[in-house]
Amino acid sequence: MLKDVTFGQYYPGKSLLHRTDPRIKLLILIEYLVFVLIASTELAMAATLLFTVFLVSVSGVRFGILIKSVKPLLFVLIFTAIINLFFTSGEGDPLFAWKFIKIYENGIRNAVFMLLRLVSLVLGTSVIVSFTTSPLQLTDAIESLLGPLKRIKVPVHEFAMMMSIALRFIPTLIEETNKIISAQKARCADFESGNVINRLKALIPILIPLFVSAVRRAEELADAMECRCYHGGEGRTKLKVMKAKAGDYIFLLVVTLVTVAIFFLDRITWSEAIGFCRDIFSK
């Protein structure tokens, strides 16, 4: 169950997206999120999908892994699609009606759009950031982008360090949780039956050992960090200095143009687009 979660996992590689400056990637991600969410016409959606396919293909992440990252969300995806399908009321006659269930043309459209949007969101976020950026690069990028806030005494370094350590310990704690669950099951613990209160109570033998162990880990880690001369962010240098290259800026520019293009595509309909093309060709 827990072992199928691929969120936040980094897959080492040397693809275009792996090489792109993580700060640029974060900015690209923001733009990407914007146009995925605004695309509401067929044209805009088609362009969005095309760009997502482009991102996936330059990420060098294996297809199987991508499928795995969408799989845990399958239920959410189907659920959202169904909600949209049945609960969108449209103008005119329903395409299908049986008792209280009515499906309108608009409903199908909304369901398909929502599905495509969610899949694009998951795939895009995965390939732009989580699969191609190591957690440390990511937190470095956040630290750097939020850097100006240090002047008004926001503890940006501490926040970034905490985040990177949290990411580092996610797999360890998932593994530990599974071990504790097995150990308590071997003592005949029952997590599956009874009412809500009983089920919550049944979690105590899992949560307490997990909490105790997390505290112990934190103490040991603090000692280990101190041993390695950690003394906060002051005077710290970096192995991987982020240096945005010309290519990175071009990439950002391209995505910005795509965003603008999609923004305009979203304003026009098919017939307008065809008319526009005809105008260009006739000139």
Partner 1 sequence: MSFIEARGIGFAYSPEEEKVINGIDLKIEKGSYVAILGHNGCGKSTLAKLLCGILLPTEGQILVDGLDTADDSLAFDIRKKCGMVFQNPDNQLVASIVEEDIAFAPENLGLPREEIRARVDAALKTVGMEEYADHATYKLSGGQKQRIAIAGILAMSPECIVFDEATAMLDPSGRKEIVAAMKRLNKEIGITVITITHYMNEAVEADRIIVMSGGEIIGDGRPEEIFSEVERLQSASLAVPQVTELLYLLEQDGHDLPRGILHAMDAADVLETYIGGHKNG
Partner 2 sequence: MANALEVKGVSVIYGEGTPFRKAALNNISTVFPQGEITGIIGHTGSGKSTLASLLNGLAKPTEGEILLFGESIWAKPKEMKKIRSRVGLVFQYPEYQLFDETVESDIAFGPKNLGLDEIEIKKRIRLAADFCGLSDKELKKSPFELSGGQKRRAAIAGVLAMRPEVLVLDEPAAGLDPKGREEILQGLTEYKKEFGATLLIISHSMEDIAKYADRILVMKEGEIFMQGGVEEIFMQAEKLFDANLDLPQITKLFIELKKRSICQSTDVYTVGYAKKEIEKALSR
Q: Which residues are near partner 2 by CB under 8 A?
A: 176, 179-180, 182-190, 204-205, 208-209, 212-213
Q: How far is the CB of 167 from partner 1 (least distance, A)?
A: 6
Q: How far is the CB of 246 from partner 1 (least distance, A)?
A: 20
Q: How far is the CB of 132 from partner 2 (least distance, A)?
A: 22
Q: Which is nearer to partner 1, 30 or 221 (CB)?
A: 221
Among partner 2, partner 1, none, the one that 167 touches (CB under a kind-dependent 5 to 8 A) is partner 1
- CA dihedral 43→48→50→54, nearest 10 degrees, is 160
Among partner 2, partner 1, none, the one that 164 touches (CB under a kind-dependent 5 to 8 A) is partner 1
Q: Which is nearer to partner 1, 136 or 181 (CB)?
A: 136
Q: Which is nearer to partner 1, 88 or 139 (CB)?
A: 139
Q: How far is the CB of 5 from partner 1 (least distance, A)?
A: 13
Q: Which is nearer to partner 2, 201 or 240 (CB)?
A: 201
Q: How far is the CB of 205 from partner 2 (least distance, A)?
A: 5
Binding site for partner 1 (CB under 8 A): 9-10, 12, 134-136, 164-165, 167-168, 171-172, 216-217, 220-221, 223-231, 235-241
Q: How far is the CB of 153 from partner 1 (least distance, A)?
A: 22
Contact 177, 206 (CB under 8 A): yes
Q: Which is nearer to partner 2, 94 or 171 (CB)?
A: 171
Both tokens of residue 282? 């006739």
Contact 263, 37 (CB under 8 A): no
Among partner 2, partner 1, none, the one that 184 touches (CB under a kind-dependent 5 to 8 A) is partner 2
Phi, psi (rounded to 5 degrees) for 270: -55, -50
Q: How far is the CB of 173 from partner 2 (least distance, A)?
A: 12
Q: Which is nearer to partner 2, 182 or 271 (CB)?
A: 182
Among partner 1, partner 2, none, the one that 212 touches (CB under a kind-dependent 5 to 8 A) is partner 2
Cα–Cα dist 33/186, whole Å: 46
For residue 104, what are the contacts with CB-CB under 8 A and spacing of at least 6? 88, 89, 90, 91, 92, 94, 95
Among partner 2, partner 1, none, the one that 227 touches (CB under a kind-dependent 5 to 8 A) is partner 1
Q: Which is nearer to partner 1, 83 or 165 (CB)?
A: 165
Cα–Cα dist 32/216, whole Å: 41
